[in-house]
Amino acid sequence: MTGPPKKLTIKRIAVAIDCSPHSRASLSAAAEIAGLLQAELLGIFVEDINLIRMAELPFSQEIHLHTARSEPLDSLKLERLLKLQAKEAHELFIQTAERFGIPHTFRKLRGLVSAEVLAAALETDLLAMGRSGRTPVCRKGLGSTARKAVKEAKTNILLTKSGFTVNSPLLVIYDGSPGAKRALETALGLARRETVLHVFLVGQNARKHAVLREEAEMIIGERTAKVEFHMIPWTDSTMLAQCIHMTEPGLLVLSDNTETVDPEIVYRLIDTTDYPVLLVRDSR
Amino acid sequence: MPTPAPLNPEELYIQCDPDSFSFASTEDLDGEIKISGQERAQEAIRFGVGMKHNGFNIFALGPAGTGKQTTLEQYLRETASGEAVPEDWCYVYNFENMRQPCAISMPAGKACIFRHDMEHLIEGLLTVIPGAFSSEEYQEQEKNIKEQLNERQASEIEALEKKAAEKNIALIRTPSGFAFAPIKKGEVVNAEEFMRLKPEEKETIEKEISTLKESMQSIMMQIPKWQSETQEKLKELNQQIATFAAKPLFAELKTKYQDHKVVTAYLKDVEKDVVENFGQFLEKESPPPQMLFLPGQGKNTGNRSLNHYRVNVVIDNSKTEGAPVIYEDKPSIQNLVGDIEHLAQMGTLVTDFTLIKPGALHQANGGYLILSARRLLLEPLAYEALKKAIRTRQIRIESLAQLYGMASTVSLDPEPVPLDTKIILLGERSLYYLLSARDPDFDELFKVAADFDDEMERNQNSHLSYAGFVSSIVNREKLRHLDKYAVARMIEYGSRLSGDSGKLSTHIQSITDLVNESDYYATKNNHDLITREDVQQAIDARRYRAGRIPEKIQDAILQNTILIDTESEKVGQINGLSVYMLGNQSFGKPSRITTRIKMGKGEVIDIEREVEMGGPIHSKGVMILSGFLGGRFGGEQPLSLSATLVFEQSYGGVDGDSASSAELYALLSAISGKPIKQCFAVTGSVNQYGEIQAIGGVNEKIEGFFDLCKERGLTGQQGVLIPAANTRNLMLRDDVVNAVKENKFSIYPVKHVDEGIEILTGVPAGIQLEDGGYPEETINGLAVQRLKSMAEKQKKQSDNSSNNNPKES
């Protein structure tokens, strides 16, 4: 149907660190992938300008997480806390990078978190971040920065959550489009021999499924032994989400440039299913 | 008064006729232990064992070695074999109070099965519970419950965020919490811009933020409650899963033990605990190295908490036949009532119910417990613990270390076990009487005294019993058998041991020792059976081994270091006889007794007493002499003499009254002036009427004097005067009997002092005449004359003294 898929080339990975459990997971995953692909790691810590501004307001009050007690928050105190957080993030980043023996750079920025992260990500091939940031509750959907990154970032995005490892089962939605092929190639690049790879063959009928399977098998070849094909006749987010839940994947490898699944459906899937995601983009 | 004739040889040693036996050797006997001569004690034991009421415990009293333990064990084993096998006992964890483990009784042999069943149950639970909790259904439900909490929190906060957003206010995460701030185009309004706002706008924003903050605080206050509710739901789910998984295993056991209410209740507790603490069955990791040595850790449990479900079988009667008969050799408090052991773990002492150890009372429960009273009293607190157990009729385990405060660690207070044991104490008579006199509880708790005699009547039946007993020793000790002549010698030895030719000693230990020693000589003499000669050799060797001191004394006499005359005649001098006890050996030796008289007021002065070397009984004997002299010679005139009596060359003190007749003979000789033949020795006590009374150790005394005479040469004149009442005690050595047979030595049985004095002096004592006097040239006549003369002299002196000092008018 189309020519050979373009391979995803990752030379530099940006990872946003705010020391939340999800961002720690994204740091580990990014470092592991960097180690796997021999890429460089760029650590980003953003001092949120909104926080600094808020501290400057005369009435600003901080509500403590575990006591619900409130007390005034001043700039000085906030600066000190942010400095400590940055230090912690830096140490965590260095330790992780050195553990995987990868080249690394750490950058401390100040500004709007999403804007700064997206700007920094422009210099890299993959932006890794937690599905949600430092929130008082376990948010089911994406955090504001992650959501913005999914919608606006031009680079590939890896969204993780705590407990994620690269060895987890992978899931690819394959419809034969260049984007889907690229996602499949990327998944194969991450998979080890023992990694289970679920491939959703999205097509209207059995014939289409057979064609897709043949193509996918050609691409996969001998690179992984444990492939499970699933014939999916639906393209709406609800049914796809249900199917994804049933396979319990460790990482969704998706493209927002396929023929059968609309990008908005892909974004909704990313938001509603609570799984780590690697969003492969074609634009680069 | 006629003098008694010397005893015939047959009266000196009552032989046992080997031909009266129907067996040739002890091999022909059944070898079963038969104790006879203890009928009184045996009856007491039968009574004590038969009485099931509280306090009818037995104290078997008697000298050591009289077969108390053998008799008791033999009787009790026979009795106990027909009695019911007692129940098993085990300790289990008390789920309501871990410091008080529960005691459970079960039919004999069932406790071990129960323990095995519980181990099997735990193994099963270790499989089914992890299986249930790893099932997809459980995981899904658990995830769902947790998700509900997350969703609830998220929805509340998101609603608040939304509400805030409507008012251009954002919820912002701070490093240690969060805060609300006004926003404009997605960014927080900076301070300058805020300050430029109208006061009303600023006030509105502040108010709105304050309201939102309060709402947020209200939500956050609810979070712990929601978490708690979630935990409750999870707990409920877990318990449902654990109950469902464990139920079939417990149901099987409950059905098996449905007739045993206590076990069923215990299983219920276990099931409840298992369900509540299901997590311990999910832990797959092995314990860390420092936790390897845990209290009573079982082979199948790597987890300490699983010890709670183990069964500590303290009494297993699966192999017991009849009621138990236990002899506890070391009756310490721990060995009696049991103990709670501790293990050192990381510098502290720890324990649990699996370290409860049973005591002899547990083992003997439902049966009989035999203890040595002396050993019991020597063990700290053991006697008190035993009494408490008998009194309260239950066995309560109390650690000695805890009682003394030596182990200040958490310990256990196990549930007491009901006690139904007959206690039998073995001890010497002195102990029994001491306890009876000094311990107010004793008579209440040990109501039955089984008094073991140290001798029994000698007759044909007891001869056979002795033979049977010897046979049992041979079988037990795996020795050579004895021919019937050796058995006869054994019986004769037993008779000599009892100090009575009409009795047999029941001192089993002495007989056992002699059989063993005879076997040694039989081996040396290459005899297939132990013969009479072997037995005699053993007896002689025993005497030789113990003979150092008698020989030293004999040598001293022969060398005249100790003066004993056996040839001449002396006035006021006589050979008395005394017995020395050294360990378990005794021997006789002659002692010279002398007396001197002078004018005085009729008193007999005991020099031994004056220097406090005489015992009270000896002093009593000497005072009796005064009574005799006064009665015989002081009726008509005052006794104007003063006599002194002494045991010559005695340096170690004298007691007993067996020399009082000898002292009287010496006094009569001294008063009458008639010499006593020193070829005689005398023993026997005397009363105020001059009658000679029985004494102890007659055989040793005769043999002691005989040995001296034999060394100096037997003349045929030598002999010993003994109380006629002691004739039945004679079991003399062969050489003495042979010397008598050959008329080289004589033994006179004397009933009255007048008989003895005639034998000793060759002068008749003299019978009182009608006028109150005595014939001249008799001992009594001469004594009366001497006393009369002394009285006259004294009167004369008194008169002269009065004349020289006339009364003033």
CA atoms of B481 and B519, how far apart (whole Å): 8
Pairing outcome for strands B422-427 and B58-61: parallel
Question: Considering only CB atoms, which chain A residues are within 8 Å of B189?
Answer: 53, 57
Identify whether the C-beta of residue B656 lies closer than 8 Å to the C-beta of residue B663. Answer: no
Write the pLDDT tens digit of every residue in B521-538: 999 999 999 999 999 999
**Average pLDDT of the residues in A165-170:** 82
3-state secondary structure of B515: helix
Identify whether the C-beta of residue B27 lies closer than 8 Å to the C-beta of residue B470. Answer: no
Q: How many residues comprise chain A?
A: 284
Same domain, yes or no: A202 and A134 = no
Query: Residue A149 maps to which CATH number?
Result: 3.40.50.620
Nearest Cβ partner of B209 from A51, A59, A81? A59
Interface test with A, best of B143, B161, B169, B174 (most A CBs within 10 A): B174
How many C-alpha atoms does B90 have within 13 Å on its Cβ side?
25
What is the percent of chain B where pLDDT is above 90?
53
Whether the pLDDT of residue B302 is over 50: the answer is no
**Interface contact A61-B191, CB threshold 8 A:** no
Write the pLDDT tens digit of every residue in B670-680: 999 999 999 99
Domain B38-86+320-452 indexed as CATH 3.30.70.20: no
Same domain, yes or no: A133 and A214 = no
Place of tokens 């889907």: A180
Same domain, yes or no: A20 and A156 = yes
Nearest Cβ partner of B179 from A61, A84, A133? A61
Write the pLDDT tens digit of every residue in B85-102: 999 999 999 999 888 999
Q: Where are the alpha helices (DSSP H) in B27-134?
A: 39-50, 68-81, 110-133
Interface contact A81, partner B, CB < 8 A:
yes
Write the single-letter amino acid at B798: S
Interface test with B, best of A60, A137, A246 (most B CBs within 10 A): A137
Interface contact A88, partner B, CB < 8 A:
no
**Interface contact A138-B153, CB threshold 8 A:** yes
Tell me which residues of chain B, numbers 158 to 197, contact chain A at a CB-CB cutoff of 8 Å.
170, 172-183, 186-191, 194
Write the pLDDT tens digit of every residue in B161-192: 889 989 999 888 887 788 899 988 888 888 88
Identify whether the C-beta of residue B394 lies closer than 8 Å to the C-beta of residue B336. Answer: no
Residue B115 has a pLDDT of 95
CA atoms of B169 and B184, how far apart (whole Å): 8
Whether the pLDDT of residue B291 is over 50: the answer is no
CA atoms of B289 and B500, how far apart (whole Å): 73
Whether the pLDDT of residue B270 is over 90: the answer is yes
Residue B243 has a pLDDT of 92
**Average pLDDT of the residues in B748-776:** 91
CA distance B385 to chain A (A): 59
Whether the pLDDT of residue A164 is over 80: the answer is no
CA distance B223 to chain A (A): 10
CA atoms of B737 and B759, how far apart (whole Å): 21
CA distance B280 to chain A (A): 25
CA atoms of A90 and A92, how far apart (whole Å): 5
Assigned token pair, B237: 């789910």
Interface contact B146, partner A, CB < 8 A:
no
**Interface contact A140-B172, CB threshold 8 A:** no
φ, ψ of residue B808 to 5 degrees: the values are -70, 135
* B539 CA to centre of own chain: 31
The 3-state secondary structure of B430-452, one letter per residue? HHHHHHHHHCCCHHHHECEEEEC
Interface test with A, best of B188, B190, B216 (most A CBs within 10 A): B188
Residue B36 has a pLDDT of 63
For B768-781, letters b (16+ CB in 10 Å) and e give eeeeeebeeebbbb
CA atoms of A28 and A42, how far apart (whole Å): 13
Same domain, yes or no: A125 and A194 = no
Mean pLDDT of chain B: 88
**Interface contact A64-B176, CB threshold 8 A:** yes
CA distance B244 to chain A (A): 27
Same domain, yes or no: A222 and A191 = yes
- Comparison of pLDDT for B603 and A265, the residue scoring more: A265
Pairing outcome for strands B58-61 and B187-188: unpaired
Residue B301 has a pLDDT of 41
CATH of B562-793, one of 3.90.1150.10, 3.30.420.40, 3.40.430.10, 3.30.230.10: 3.30.230.10
Nearest chain B residue to A19 by CA: give it. Answer: B175
**Interface contact B172-A138, CB threshold 8 A:** no
**Does the annotation count B81 as an active-site position?**
no
Helix (H) or strand (E) holding B599: strand B585-599
Please say which residue of A94, A128, A160 terminates a domain: A160
Q: Where are the alpha helices (DSSP H) in A44-112?
A: 49-56, 75-100
Same domain, yes or no: A104 and A214 = no
**Average pLDDT of the residues in B331-358:** 87
Among B74-88, B616-630, B717-731, the least confident range? B616-630
Write the pLDDT tens digit of every residue in B441-466: 999 999 999 888 888 888 888 898 88
Report the interhelical angle of A206-220 vs A178-190 (nearest 10°).
Answer: 40
In sign, the C-alpha dihedral spanning B300, B304, B309, B315 is positive
Residue A275 has a pLDDT of 87
**Interface contact B188-A54, CB threshold 8 A:** yes
Among B73-77, B522-526, B721-725, the least confident range? B73-77
**Does the annotation count B272 as an active-site position?**
no
DSSP B209-239: HHHHHHHHHHHHHHHHHHHHHHHHHHHHHHH
Catalytic residue from among B472, B701, B744, B746? B701
Range of the structural domain that residue A116 is part of:
12-160
Residue A131 has a pLDDT of 80
- Comparison of pLDDT for B615 and B330, the residue scoring more: B330
Whether the pLDDT of residue B299 is over 60: the answer is no
Residue B409 has a pLDDT of 66
Same domain, yes or no: A179 and A276 = yes
Number of domains in chain A: 2
Whether the pLDDT of residue A136 is over 80: the answer is no
Same domain, yes or no: A184 and A257 = yes
Write the pLDDT tens digit of every residue in A49-60: 888 998 888 888
Residue B344 has a pLDDT of 81
Catalytic residue from among B471, B501, B586, B658? B658
CA distance B180 to chain A (A): 7
Is residue A69 situated within a structural domain?
yes
Whether the pLDDT of residue B753 is over 80: the answer is yes
Domain B15-32+456-545 indexed as CATH 3.40.1440.60: no
φ, ψ of residue B531 to 5 degrees: the values are -105, 175
3-state secondary structure of A54: helix
- Comparison of pLDDT for A23 and B668, the residue scoring more: B668
Is residue A29 situated within a structural domain?
yes
CA atoms of A24 and B486, how far apart (whole Å): 101
Same domain, yes or no: A141 and A205 = no
Please say which residue of A132, A160, A188 terminates a domain: A160
Categorize the per-residue pLDDT at B296 as very low, low, confident or very high, splitting at 50, 70 and 90: very low
Please say which residue of A113, A128, A160 terminates a domain: A160
**Interface contact A63-B189, CB threshold 8 A:** no
3-state secondary structure of B606: strand
Whether the pLDDT of residue B389 is over 70: the answer is yes
Write the pLDDT tens digit of every residue in A205-251: 889 999 999 999 998 887 776 889 999 888 888 888 888 888 888 89
CA atoms of B695 and B656, how far apart (whole Å): 9
Whether the pLDDT of residue A109 is over 90: the answer is yes
What are the structural domain ranges in chain B? Answer: 15-32+456-545, 38-86+320-452, 562-793
Residue B13 has a pLDDT of 92
**Interface contact A58-B178, CB threshold 8 A:** no
- Comparison of pLDDT for B409 and B96, the residue scoring more: B96
Categorize the per-residue pLDDT at B740 as very low, low, confident or very high, splitting at 50, 70 and 90: very high
Task: Report yes or no on whether pTM surpasses 0.90.
Answer: no
Same domain, yes or no: A178 and A215 = yes
